[in-house]
Amino acid sequence: MAELNGAPVTPDALCRLALLNYGHFTSIRVDDRRVRGMALHLDRLVRDSRTLFDADLDPDLVRGYVRRVVRGTSGPLGVRVTVFDPDLDLGRPGATAHPQVLVTVRAAGATPAPPFTARTVEYGRDQAAVKHVGLFGTIKVRRDAQLAGYDDALFVDASGHVTEGPTWNVGFFDGERVLWPTGDVLPGVTMRLLQQAHPDHAIAPVRRRDVPAMRAAFATNAAVGVRAIGAIDGVPFPSDHPVLSALRKEYEAIPAEPV
């Protein structure tokens, strides 16, 4: 299902989004019409609309659009809310923008997802603090990692510090506490919820050469919650470490908000 401003989306509007590729989004996991961190997802959309379009976005209107598409459903769904202006022109992106709200729905995968492997690569997303639709670079480095025999990529910056994955935040356990790497990263909703639920953590620099000394590694996003990383650059990590179970339990205990 796909709706634009609460009505069936036209092929022309989708074509305009594909050709200009300027906008932002948030991905939400909906379980029985409830969402963990719904307010944070809406805050992100409002903030990024100001950043990309210099325009206000009504969070209650967005919530209503999401409520429409999940009405009468059950079970887990992956809902993506994309904000873009179908009338924005490639040659005149500085024109006054009127952002529109596209809501798409698909089935959500089971959790916990299986462990995966990652290869570090020097890369940084444009405008990293914005969850924008410009995914070419991230998909390219993910593809390169998979062609090299890994499941995904893990970004490091020019100074060798770990930052994030293509579509997920990364966390480590150093034997005493959970570490969230500093750097130019997307402030993920799931990461923020876990930081609130698991106070024994630190936001600190993690260098690529520090990774082999870590006791566990994991990825977080709304789709998977907490997912174990089984190896980074061939260095193995346990997928059944107790800290991963603790984080999952803490995350699942966070009350979900009605859409």
Helix (H/G/I), strand (E/B), else coil: 46: helix
Distance CA 230, CA 217 (A): 8
CA-nearest of 116, 105, 17, 15 to 65 is: 105
CATH number among 1.20.140.10, 2.30.30.30, 3.30.470.10, 3.40.50.970, domain 2-107: 3.30.470.10
First CA to last CA across the chain, in angstroms? Answer: 17
Q: Domain ranges in the chain? A: 2-107, 116-258
Q: What is the pLDDT of residue 111?
A: 86
Q: What is the pLDDT of residue 75?
A: 80
Q: What is the pLDDT of residue 167?
A: 97
Burial 144-180 (b: 16+ CB within 10 A, else e): ebeeeebbbbbbbbeeebbbbbbbbbbbbbeeeebbb
Q: What is the pLDDT of residue 150?
A: 98
Tokens 């089935």 correspond to 107
Alpha-carbon torsion angle 203, 206, 210, 216, nearest 10: 50
pTM of this prediction? 0.95
Q: What is the pLDDT of residues 59-108, one digit of tens each?
A: 999 999 999 999 988 789 999 999 999 999 999 999 999 999 999 999 99
**Segments in the chain below pLDDT 70:** none
Write the single-letter amino acid at 93: P
CATH topology of 2-107 equal to that of 116-258? no
Burial 181-208 (b: 16+ CB within 10 A, else e): bebebbebbbbbbbbebbeebeeeebeb
Alpha-carbon torsion angle 229, 206, 37, 105, nearest 10: -50
Read off the tokens for 92.
């005149």
Q: What is the pLDDT of residue 110?
A: 85
CATH topology of domain 116-258: D-amino Acid Aminotransferase; Chain A, domain 2 (3.20.10)
Q: What is the pLDDT of residue 72?
A: 81
In 10 A of CB 62, how many CB atoms? Answer: 20
